[in-house]
Amino acid sequence: MIRMKNGSTKCGLDMGDGLIAEATGLIFIKATKDPWIRSLSRSHNKKYYNNPMTKVSTYDLVPEASASFTECMKNRRLWTWEFGCGMKGDDATSEKVVLHKHQLCSVIQEKNKK
């Protein structure tokens, strides 16, 4: 988040020299090959890779789990935002037009249904 001179905030990147690139959407890239998935170990606070078909899990990225650039781009999910869309936590009391965390999760789940 970038704080503007007028006190407002924008979701974006300060490019320097007064230039700001404002976020207008999200792109989700799956960097693992199917059926591999990357998860976060709650007990070790460390990412690991799991193949649910073979029941193999490893903390090291094995070559057969790594997707190529072409595969990543082919399977990416793009979600563009309309003007006025923003993000905040679970608090739904704001009068502003915002995107709430549960809405983001719902979109991710819906886009990944096959």
* Residue-range domain boundaries for the chain: 30-75
Q: Yes or no: say if 112 and 77 are a contact pair by the CB < 8 Å rule.
A: yes
Per-residue pLDDT of the chain (114 residues; tens, 9 = 90+): 667 778 776 667 778 887 877 777 788 899 999 999 999 998 999 999 999 999 999 999 999 999 999 999 998 988 777 655 555 544 555 555 666 656 776 777 776 665
- In this prediction, residue 15 carries a pLDDT of 82
- In this prediction, residue 16 carries a pLDDT of 81
- In this prediction, residue 90 carries a pLDDT of 47
Class of residue 106 by CB neighbours under 10 A (exposed 0-12, middle 13-18, buried 19+)? exposed
Q: What is the pTM of this model?
A: 0.55
Q: What is the DSSP letter of 18?
A: T
User: In three state form, how does the secondary structure of 41-59 look?
Assistant: ECCCCEEEEEECCCCEEEC
